[in-house]
Chain A
Amino acid sequence: MEEKNSQPLVRMIGISKAFPGVQANDCVDLELFPGEVLALLGENGAGKSTLMNILCGLYRPDAGEIEVRGRKASIQGPRDSQALGIGMIHQNFKLVDSMTVLENIILGMKNQPFLLDMKKVRSEVLQLSERYNLKVEPDASVWQLSVGEQQRVEILKLLYRKADILILDEPTAVLTPQESSQLAKVIRLMKTEGKSAIFITHKMDEVMNFSDRVMVLRKGKAVAGLSTASTSPSQLARLMVGREMLFSIDKKPFSPGKTILKLDRVCAKDDRGLDALKEVSLDIRSGEILGIAGVAGNGQKELAEVITGLRKLESGSLRLDERDMSQSSPIAMIKAGVAHVPQDRVSVGSVGDLSVASNLAMKEYRKPPLSTGIFLIPRRITSLAKKLIERFKIMTPGPDTHLKFLSGGNIQKTILAREIGACKSLLVAVYPSRGLDIGATESVRRQLVDQRDQGLGVLFVSEDIDELMQVADTIAVLFEGRVMAVMPSREAEPERLGLLMAGVGA
Chain B
Amino acid sequence: MDMITSILAITIRAGTSLVFATVGEIFTERAGILNLGIEGIMLMSAVTGFAASFYTQNLFIALLVAAAVGAAMAALHAFLTVTMRANQVVSGLSITLFGSGFASFLGQRLGPAANNFRLVGLKGARFMPASFEAVSDIPIVSAFLNQDLLTYLVYILIPLSWFFLYKTRPGLWLRSIGEDPQTADAMGIDVIKAKYFYTILGGVFIALGGAHLSLSYTPGWAENITGGRGWIVVALVIFSMWNPARSLWGALLFGGINAVQFRLQASGTTIPAAFLNMLPYLGTIAVLVLMTWWEALSKKVGAPAALSQAYMREDK
Contact = CB atoms under 8 A, between A and B. Distances in A.
Given A107-B172, A108-B173, A98 B187 contact: no
Contact of A116 (B167, B185, B188, B313): B167
A6 B175 CA distance: 43
B238 to A, nearest CB: 16
B134 interface: no
Given A99-B176, A108-B173, A94 B183 contact: yes
Given A19-B316, A58-B186, A96-B180, A107 B173 contact: yes
Contacts of A59: 313-314
A99 B188 contact: no
B184 interface: yes
Contacts of A106: 172
Contact of B184 (A88, A97, A108, A115): A108
B301 interface: yes
Interface residues of A, number: 27
Interface in B260-316: 301, 305, 313-314, 316
A78 B167 contact: no
B187 A115 contact: no
Interface in B142-183: 167-170, 172-173, 175-176, 179-180, 182-183
Interface in A74-104: 77-79, 82, 88, 90, 94-99, 103
B189 interface: yes
B167 A110 contact: no
Prevailing SS type, chain A contact patch: loop
Contact of A114 (B168, B176, B190, B305): B168
A107 B180 CA distance: 12
Contacts of B176: 96, 99, 107-108
Given A19-B316, A107-B172, A114-B168, A78 B182 contact: no
A69 B184 CA distance: 27
Interface in B65-84: none
A369 to B, nearest CB: 42
Contacts of B170: 114
B280 to A, nearest CB: 32
Contacts of A94: 180, 182-183, 186-187
A315 interface: no
A44 to B, nearest CB: 14
Contacts of A107: 172-173, 176, 183-184, 187, 189
A98 B176 CA distance: 9
Interface string B85-128: 00000000000000000000000000000000000000000000
Nearest to B169: A112
A439 interface: no
Contacts of A505: none
A78 B187 contact: yes
A300 B3 CA distance: 72
Nearest to B179: A96
Nearest to B185: A78
B179 A108 contact: no
Contact of A78 (B169, B180, B188, B305): B188
Contacts of B314: 19, 58-59
A116 B172 contact: yes
Interface string A469-503: 00000000000000000000000000000000000
B183 A96 contact: yes
Interface in A37-51: none
A310 B264 CA distance: 60
A97 B179 contact: yes
Contacts of B173: 107-108
A113 interface: yes
Given A97-B179, A116-B172, A79 B301 contact: no
A98 B178 CA distance: 11
A58 B185 contact: yes
Given A19-B316, A94-B183, A98-B179, A108 B168 contact: no
A314 B305 CA distance: 31
Nearest to B182: A94
Contacts of B305: 97-98
Contacts of A77: 185, 188, 190
Nearest to A92: B182
A150 to B, nearest CB: 12
Contacts of B169: 112-116
Contacts of A96: 175-176, 179-180, 183-184
B189 A108 contact: yes
B168 A115 contact: yes
B279 to A, nearest CB: 35
Contacts of A110: 188
Contacts of A97: 179-180, 305
A116 to B, nearest CB: 6
A137 B188 CA distance: 25
Interface string A411-435: 0000000000000000000000000
Contacts of A114: 168-170
Nearest to A82: B188
Contacts of A116: 167-169, 172
Q: Which of B172, B184, B305 counts the most chain A CB atoms within 10 A?
A: B172
Nearest to A118: B167
A78 B169 CA distance: 18
A349 B175 CA distance: 38
A94 B179 CA distance: 12
A114 B169 CA distance: 5
Contacts of B188: 77-79, 82, 108, 110
A485 B105 CA distance: 77
Contacts of B313: 58-59
A99 B182 contact: no
Nearest to B313: A58
A394 to B, nearest CB: 27
Given A59-B314, A116-B167, A99 B187 contact: no
A77 B175 CA distance: 20
A310 B301 CA distance: 32
Given A77-B188, A79-B190, 20 more contacts: A56-B186, A58-B186, A58-B313, A77-B190, A78-B187, A78-B188, A82-B188, A88-B186, A90-B186, A94-B186, A97-B179, A98-B305, A99-B175, A106-B172, A107-B187, A108-B184, A108-B187, A114-B168, A116-B169, A116-B172
22 contacts: A19-B316, A58-B314, A59-B313, A77-B190, A78-B185, A78-B186, A79-B190, A88-B186, A90-B186, A96-B184, A97-B179, A98-B179, A98-B305, A99-B175, A103-B172, A107-B173, A107-B187, A108-B173, A114-B170, A115-B167, A115-B169, A116-B168
Interface of B: 167-170, 172-173, 175-176, 179-180, 182-190, 301, 305, 313-314, 316
